[in-house]
Structure 1
Amino acid sequence: MIDFNQGLYAGEFRHNLDSKRRLTVPSKWRSDGDEQQTYLAFPDPAGCVTVYPPEMVAELKEKISKISIGDKKGRRAITRLLGSADSFSFDKSGRININDRLFQHADISKEVVLVGTVNFFQLWSPDRYDAYVADADEEDGDLGDILADLGF
């Protein structure tokens, strides 16, 4: 269940990395105490970086703890996913700093598009994000029809 006191990730924001390759996260996505919380960023197959907030990190940790040591396929998947992930906290100015490997995965060099997806957010290069949205329009059809199919 989503804890809306921890934030609701909605909207699209375009920010630049600073000279130390830090990214300022929108203030409406931040909560008091974020400097002591652990966030998790990992490469998304869509070509972006997905960022899980603390409550989703806790859920992921719980699910991973249930994978048996004999489940080679499950263990391998977790190793692949988390081996390329990065954990971090916000600094006092609301900035994050994730590793270069993740920025390279998403082809992010200077400008970053932050996209909220309710319970987590994504980091995109502007070109990839614009192409992803355009492809969705062409491949998936009308947004109204898709939302109706999902029950909205």
Structure 2
Amino acid sequence: MFRGRSRHTLDEKGRLAIPTRFKDVLNPKEDVCLVVTNYINCLRAFTKENWRIIEDKIAGLPLMDSKANSLRRYFISGAQECPIKHGRITLPPDLREIAGLQKEVELVGALKYFEIWDKSRWDEEFNNARDDFQASGQVFADLGI
């Protein structure tokens, strides 16, 4: 599972080093690339195995459902395989632009995937998440957490 967060720098070609703790999650024989797609203000990176699970679920959604179509058009259409070379992936320019990625980025573990945020956007998102977390204590208690 992908856990923790760390700051990294994108080089001029959009190459991003994968943190050791994230590389440790990957199977070096099977995970030769990550599937990276756009999300809300960030990118999400999945192993091919976890991506297949998502694709299978989305493939089963109704073809004429407008929300399912929005999901396919935004989330699925952005997906690109990014080969892992020398412990790095190269993020395609169109995905970097959609996510607003500049030089400084934050990699954020989210269990079955990790997110790639522009540092300034991440700082704002983290503050919002902290506020939501503090206000949600009873919800977590109701879930048995």
TM-score by length of 1: 0.78
Unaligned runs of 5+ in 1: 1-7
What amino acid maps onto 2:93 in structure 1? D
Q: Does 1:116 align with 2:109?
A: yes
In structure 2, what is the Cα distance between the partners aligned to 1:16 and 1:53?
22
Q: Determine the C-alpha separation between the residues in 2 that align with 1:67 and 1:82.
A: 13
Q: Between Structure 1 and Structure 2, which shows a larger proportion of strand residues?
A: 2
Corresponding residue number in structure 2 for 1:25: 18
Q: Secondary structure at the match of 1:123?
A: strand
**Matching of residue 84 in structure 1 with residue 43 in structure 2:** no
Tell me how far apart the structure 2 counterparts of residues 103 and 12 of structure 1 sit (CA, whole Å): 19
From 10, 13, 24, the counterpart of 2:6:
13
In the TM superposition, what are the counterparts of 1:93-112 in structure 2 within 5 Å?
93-112=86-105
Q: Which amino acid aligns with 2:55?
A: K
Give the Cα separation in 2 of the matches to 1:34 and 1:94. 14
| TM-score (normalizing by structure 2) | 0.81
Could you tell me which residue of structure 2 aligns to residue 58 of structure 1?
52
Output one character per residue of 1:9-57: Cα deviation in whole Å (capped at 9) or x when no partner: 00111111123220001122123125634x2222212x11111222211
Question: Counterpart of 2:36?
Answer: 41
Q: Distance in 1 between matches of 2:133 and 2:32?
A: 42
2: CA distance, partners of 1:112 / 1:119:
20
The alignment-based identity, stated in percent, is: 25
Partners of 1:9 and 1:117 within 8 A in 2? yes
Q: Does 116-125 or 21-30 show the bigger shift?
A: 21-30
Number of residue pairs the alignment of both structures matches? 140
Give the Cα separation in 2 of the matches to 1:58 and 1:127: 31
Q: For structure 2, list consecutive stretches of 5 or more residues without a partner in the other structure.
A: none
Distance 1:127 1:149 in 2: 33
Tell me, yes or no, if the aligned pair for 1:15 and 1:112 is still in contact at 8 Å.
yes
Q: Distance between the aligned counterparts of 1:80 and 1:36, measured in 2?
A: 25
